[in-house]
Structure 1
Amino acid sequence: MDIRQLRDKILSFSLEDVDLGSQGYTRVLLQLFGYTGHGKSSFINSCMYVLEEGENFKEHAEAGETDHGLTMVRNAYPITDMITMVDNRGCSKMNDFERAEVYAQLGNFVPIGERVEWKDNYKAMMEALEISELEPNFSDFIVPIFVYRVRKQTSTESMQDVKTFMENCPKMTGIVPIVVLTFKTSADYLEIEKQFRLMGAETVIAIENYTKMSNIKTLGRTTDILMVIDSALRNVRFRLELPRNPKRERIERKKFMYNYIDQMKSHPERERMRVQPFYKRRERSVCGIY
């Protein structure tokens, strides 16, 4: 399949094309997660750029390379009539509450367009879950995508958090996260790919994002980015080959959230870390995103 065929395949994708039809889903939601400053927003810009004709690069999602990140609101960017990418809030130093907020974004319990706040108590988290029932979203087919910057150094504890996230995503969505390695030419991405494969990643694609300063389309860069989207859609087709119930699946995601919060409350070490002074937490670790 050449690059034009691959692009046309993505642009013409429809949930009705599979044998059992859409089964109640109305769009594919490509959910982007990762550390702050690892290139989630730049990846969205790159995806939109490769699906367009010509070389008129536009920065749809504000991108930055600092560890503080720029995305505070759960923003959505339609890349086709059927496919939307979501730039979720990234993290750099996390406690259990922030990890839970990441899962709340993954499960669509945080409305798109809403600012993501890191809560600091169990009651607030439970109330947010209940409020999400006012306008429940069960018609999005969720595909998790984990974006990781090759040249960043991440602690062992943080990588264990990533592994946990990789394991929990299929429990919530039925799909193992697609791993996108950014800045592929800046370090040995093959070694990082190996780490993610050992975590259970089934699809790992290394890319170079397009930017304002580097926007000349090349065959290799464009193909890599399109392959990420195509991999996501192949997961959707595979999952829709069997009967699905969007409402039931949302209930299962909510059960996961309740169980996760309950485990937080009953874990003494986590509770001790929660009340420990901030400077002491920093001494122990630079925590990961999940």
Structure 2
Amino acid sequence: MFRSTADAEIRQALATYSPGSTRGAQHAGYTRVCLQLFGLSGHGKSSLINSCLCVVKNDVFSNTARSANSNVTITMARKEYKLANCVYIIDNRGLNTLAEEEVLELSAQLNNLRMASSENEEATGKDSDVEWEPGVEKILSHLDELINKNCTDFLVPVLVYNLKSTIIQKNKQQFEKMIDTAYGATGLHPIIVLTKHEPYYSIGKVVYQFTDLGCLHIIPLENYTPQNPRRNPETDEKILNFLKVCLQEADRLIQRKHNPDLRKVMMRKIAARIVSEEEKMKVQLESLKKELQTTKEKVKDEMLKKMFKFFCYFLLTCFIIASNYLAYKTKQA
């Protein structure tokens, strides 16, 4: 395996890291830094986790996070993987439509109002699928448990984006809302990881678009995959530097203003707001269902009326034809 001095130093820093330690704020009350990955389906979130795991451990590649073989998704649950004693990386179901309910679910996750299963729980089949639909009100039944468990986790938002995609150009407003959601939840603009970085793909335009949305850290790198598992020093260095940036950003904010006690208050307020938003969405959904049902009934009534008129015209036409035929036969006789 590769053992450059710089890489070894970053690995050692990861092994001894505690939240806030790079800024002398290790007593701020946080116990873990969690890199929360999010992004569209098939853009390389699970592959990034596999890459980080093998590079941090300086071991051969393993498809631990079960990345797919193509631009499709197989991750359906929120799962965490341990990189170091105090550093975790969290996989997630990919976004599909960037619809309002997906952004709302993202807000719940980035505010740590969703449980994440561990690797051990995944092995025993205890991980739960993420569903992009209203349902966060279930959180309220065990809110205290969630807050006490998760308020000492500091989340760093990481948006994984496939450079071959053009969706940011077509859906800039939705991306802006998603990035604002991440910033509002964590105090950090997402760190952007650009995957599928091949020589014939220009990254300049994509970098500009993310920069325009407020993102300062944009990192192009090629993930290791089951089809390309062979590690190389250049990719190792990029992955370790990506992790270094994540921890530096976390510590910058931990030092500035974050502490777990304030986080508890914020989590309660945010949970209440999310539930309120979901209630509005439910009301809107019920209203749309009623409108749809009313429209269906109207269409059905109109169709029945038209069919009745057509049937009447048909009978009348048949009667006229029969009458004329009988009159003709009578005249012939």
TM-score range normalised by the length of the shorter chain: 0.7 to 0.9
- Which of 86, 92, 104 matches 2:90? 86
The match for 2:28 is 23
- Which of 168, 172, 178 matches 2:191? 178
The match for 1:104 is 108
The match for 2:225 is 211
The match for 1:158 is 171
Report the CA distance shift for 1:194/1:62 in structure 2 as closer, same or farther (over 3 A). same
Q: Is the 8 A contact 2:136 2:274 kept in 1?
A: no
Unmatched 5+ residue regions in structure 1?
278-290
The match for 1:45 is 50
The match for 1:13 is 17
Report the CA distance shift for 1:101/1:243 in structure 2 as closer, same or farther (over 3 A). closer
Report the CA distance shift for 1:107/1:129 in structure 2 as closer, same or farther (over 3 A). farther
The match for 1:69 is 73
Compute the displacement of 1:89 (Å): 1.7
What is the distance in 2 between the residues matched to 1:135 and 1:267? 24
The match for 2:215 is 201
TM-score by length of 1: 0.83
- Which of 36, 44, 58 matches 2:41? 36
Letter in 2 for 1:11: A
The match for 1:3 is 7
Q: Is the 8 A contact 1:88 1:105 kept in 2?
A: no
Q: Is the 8 A contact 1:37 1:65 kept in 2?
A: no
The match for 1:286 is none
Unmatched 5+ residue regions in structure 2?
118-126, 293-333
The answer to which structure, 1 or 2, has the higher relative contact order (CA under 8 A, 6+ apart) is: 1
Q: Pick the structure with more helix per residue.
A: 2
Name the Cα RMSD after superposition.
2.8
2:204 aligned with 1:190? yes
Q: Deviations over 1:65-99 (max 9, x none)?
A: 55551111111100111100000221112432222
Q: Is the 8 A contact 1:172 1:252 kept in 2?
A: no
Letter in 2 for 1:30: L
Dislocated runs of 4+, deviation >6 Å: none
Q: Is the 8 A contact 2:196 2:221 kept in 1?
A: yes
Report the CA distance shift for 1:120/1:160 in structure 2 as closer, same or farther (over 3 A). same
What is the distance in 2 between the residues matched to 1:159 and 1:119? 21
- Which of 135, 144, 149 matches 2:157? 144
**Percent sequence identity over matched residues?**
25
TM-score by length of 2: 0.73
